[in-house]
Structure 1
């Protein structure tokens, strides 16, 4: 195909109803998975053809159920192939599978999510027309401590992959800032906050005999769970006989359970498997998010939308969710500050507490709409296609000059 005809094809399309989008990510769990599922549904409803490539070994029954429900929206299907969190020889196989899937389906957009999905979407070499390469970081490699060997390695990779990235879709201003500071400027960027649907902005009625504190999320030290356990132990030493419900799974589940027993909190802490968040919110008086690093966590959005009392750390994109109420956030890695924040919410007058979290919910409703999220992603794709069309004649002219 000549440069002129290729440019004409891109200029004509893809039309607003003709994107063929493959979302690529590793683990079908947590907020990243929810983000992809929501986007896939929105894009399919808007007339686009959508498919997924992800890991075959994670997610369990919950992922299988989610994929079964999503399948009618996925005209390009679901392909699952083994993927590892860290660099692994199997990456070459995953790249070949993705490239072949993109070729067979005629994908016009490869949209990578998370560090591993971002590598695959941008590194895959697709025979035939070159799809737009979009990348949504979800924290991941951007959360490593600057200056460490791992941080320097991953930011070096990000700088190289930026050369093959048509569009960055950052979940938060925080991650966009980390990219600018450590991986350089990008050609085309959008801030696309996670969004939630209207039904999630209804308050949750409390269950009978709720737990005092509630943790929902991955069970690993990076989520700050040890600091929550320290805060709980201190509160109980002060005579507050509080109970904590922890809902989630993760690589440190057994270690955290052992820590609970070693701290003498066995009767005060209950562990349960992941489950729908609104049903869990009803079972706790205060949700605590003690994270050490985040991008833009859905669990905070969902709790805020439901006007549920919430204590969270001042990390990542969480201040963007809290907006004017960000002064209520606490520093990470500080069990004492976490304890004090919990006490303030516990001891707050019920009417004042309800009004404060109702205000937060109203603010989130204005700023974090799921429809807006979907529209902003499609707008980003369109801008990337326009940039590709604009760049083609310039590249052709440079070639002729040589």
Structure 2
């Protein structure tokens, strides 16, 4: 098959999913091309894209994808349509709100082939009461007829989509994200590791403010203050820095910038994922596979990852709940390690990249067959 993947996001869970899917499809003999954003990029994104070039036979194409709607949306849609026609794409797969928007509008504008859409949270994070939410949700309803199938990475995403937008009028399938075999190699904390590590975008949606508020009162068993290293960058870094300064915890928090997750896992003893909203976050899977204790909030598809241990998840946005969980991890490291082992075994059994790629490939083929 000739497959065109379309995404807006810089390095993150969505990017990771598309990268793994691209490599997996290429290994199966399919020809893949990528469309990515010129407006949301950083050094880490460019490095990862360079690694993907060898797997993208049809190349990596950079187009302007504004976060909100703008004139560039029209020109980008037409460019995606032209590119799909030039490579003879059998499949156009849009990822995230904007990627899905371009993929399906390209079909509306005359692109041939089957069009797939994976929300990855995206439009599901917009409130139905907000102006942007109403606009995006209305567009989703209109674009449904241009969609061959919607692939959800969690049961939560499928349920939320139906609640906000309506029951899909096209085929749907839940296919969980998966990890590579090498990611199940254990990671050991460095001798100077912080007590806690956060890896993700520096956005309010990721719960970064409640996290540093919780840290302010946490103490180790010897009475010394707990420490935190935060890897990532994003639009709310300045707000985070102001909060850190206001709480007087600047000597206990290290902002490490955008860094690979596994590299950062060695710099902390417990991984914290305090998000206010998620779909099925890779960082939880990655940390669990690496054998580290994980403290996460009860949002999105995170309970699907934790399974029987989902009772350990904490309420989002509540610094006090996060404080209790973080303090418990320091007070009883043996229990935290036992929980980490159970979670690692579950992820090993349920979240592997091979079955993920196989399942998506099968949906591509079945829809192509149906369309004929």
TM-score, with structure 1 as normaliser: 0.89
| Structure 1 spans left out of the alignment, 5+ residues | 1-18, 390-402
Query: Which digits, 9 at most, give the CA deviation of each residue in 1:108-132, with x for residues without a partner?
Result: 1000000000000001147877210
Correspondent of 2:370 among 387, 390, 397: 387
C-alpha change, 1:181 and 1:80, in structure 2 (3 Å) is same
Aligned residues: 370
Aligned to 1:355: 338
Q: Is the 8 A contact 1:171 1:296 kept in 2?
A: yes
Aligned to 1:244: 228
Q: Is the 8 A contact 1:235 1:339 kept in 2?
A: yes
| CA-CA distance at 1:243 after TM superposition | 0.9
Aligned to 2:348: 365
Aligned to 1:69: 51
Answering whether residue 156 of structure 2 is matched by residue 174 of structure 1, we say yes
Q: Is the 8 A contact 1:227 1:335 kept in 2?
A: yes
| SS of equivalent residue, structure 1 residue 294 | coil
Answering whether residue 64 of structure 2 is matched by residue 82 of structure 1, we say yes
Q: Is the 8 A contact 2:220 2:330 kept in 1?
A: no
| SS of equivalent residue, structure 2 residue 217 | helix
C-alpha change, 1:73 and 1:126, in structure 2 (3 Å) is farther
Aligned to 1:293: 277
Q: Distance in 2 between matches of 1:349 and 1:27?
A: 36
Answering whether residue 27 of structure 2 is matched by residue 48 of structure 1, we say no
| CA-CA distance at 1:149 after TM superposition | 3.2
| SS of equivalent residue, structure 2 residue 218 | helix
| CA-CA distance at 1:366 after TM superposition | 0.7
Q: Is the 8 A contact 1:103 1:126 kept in 2?
A: no
Instruction: Map residues 117-196 of structure 1 onto 2, 5 A cutoff.
Output: 117-125=99-107, 130-186=112-168, 187-196=170-179
Aligned to 2:358: 375
Query: Which digits, 9 at most, give the CA deviation of each residue in 1:309-365, with x for residues without a partner?
Result: 111000001111111110000011111010001111111252x33222111101011
| SS of equivalent residue, structure 2 residue 48 | helix
Q: Which has the larger radius of gyration?
A: 1
Q: Distance in 1 between matches of 2:265 and 2:49?
A: 24
| CA-CA distance at 1:237 after TM superposition | 12
Q: Distance in 1 between matches of 2:165 and 2:73?
A: 23
Query: Which digits, 9 at most, give the CA deviation of each residue in 1:63-88, with x for residues without a partner?
Result: 22222221111111111011111111
Aligned to 2:264: 280
Q: Distance in 2 between matches of 1:240 and 1:224?
A: 24
Shifted more, 234-243 versus 67-76: the winner is 234-243
Q: Is the 8 A contact 2:81 2:111 kept in 1?
A: no
| CA-CA distance at 1:259 after TM superposition | 1.6
Q: Is the 8 A contact 2:128 2:137 kept in 1?
A: no
C-alpha change, 1:349 and 1:267, in structure 2 (3 Å) is closer
Q: Distance in 1 between matches of 2:346 and 2:107?
A: 43
Q: Distance in 1 between matches of 2:81 and 2:109?
A: 8
Q: Distance in 2 between matches of 1:345 and 1:60?
A: 34
Q: Is the 8 A contact 2:84 2:111 kept in 1?
A: no
| SS of equivalent residue, structure 2 residue 177 | coil
Correspondent of 1:39 among 14, 21, 24: 21
| CA-CA distance at 1:147 after TM superposition | 3.2
| Structure 2 spans left out of the alignment, 5+ residues | none
Q: Distance in 1 between matches of 2:319 and 2:111?
A: 54
Aligned CA RMSD, in angstroms, stands at: 1.7
| SS of equivalent residue, structure 2 residue 173 | strand
Q: Is the 8 A contact 1:100 1:126 kept in 2?
A: no
Q: Is the 8 A contact 1:214 1:244 kept in 2?
A: yes
Aligned to 2:241: 257
Q: Distance in 1 between matches of 2:46 and 2:68?
A: 23
C-alpha change, 1:99 and 1:344, in structure 2 (3 Å) is same
Aligned to 1:213: 196
Shifted more, 174-183 versus 121-130: the winner is 121-130
Query: Which digits, 9 at most, give the CA deviation of each residue in 1:43-63, with x for residues without a partner?
Result: 011010000011113222222
Q: Distance in 1 between matches of 2:224 and 2:214?
A: 11
Q: Is the 8 A contact 2:189 2:267 kept in 1?
A: yes
Instruction: Map residues 290-329 of structure 1 onto 2, 5 A cutoff.
Output: 290-329=274-313
